[in-house]
Amino acid sequence: MSETTINYARAFEELQAIVTEIELGQITVDILSEKVKRASELIAICKAKLTSTEEDVNQILKELDQ
């Protein structure tokens, strides 16, 4: 799934899975770097979607105040 089509819920779900794998020690050292890089990408996706949503909500609230 590409980053342009992944939604917040899916990105967050995948991020949680990676964190759980790391916490449970289910990731070998050989693939740890790959998982950390993917987690970083997912965090960026989630942050961008949250920022965009916040901007949308603020715009709607601004329009309602007018």
Domain ranges across the chain: 8-65
Q: What is the per-residue pLDDT across 8-38, written as a single tens digit (0 to 9) for each?
A: 999 999 999 999 999 999 889 889 999 999 9
User: pLDDT tens-digit profile of 34-53?
Assistant: 999 999 999 999 999 999 99
Between 5 and 42, the more confident residue is 42
Instruction: Please give the model's pTM, rounded to 2 decimal places.
Output: 0.81
Q: What is the mean pLDDT of residues 46-66?
A: 95
User: Measured in Å, how far apart are the chain's first and last C-alpha atoms?
Assistant: 41
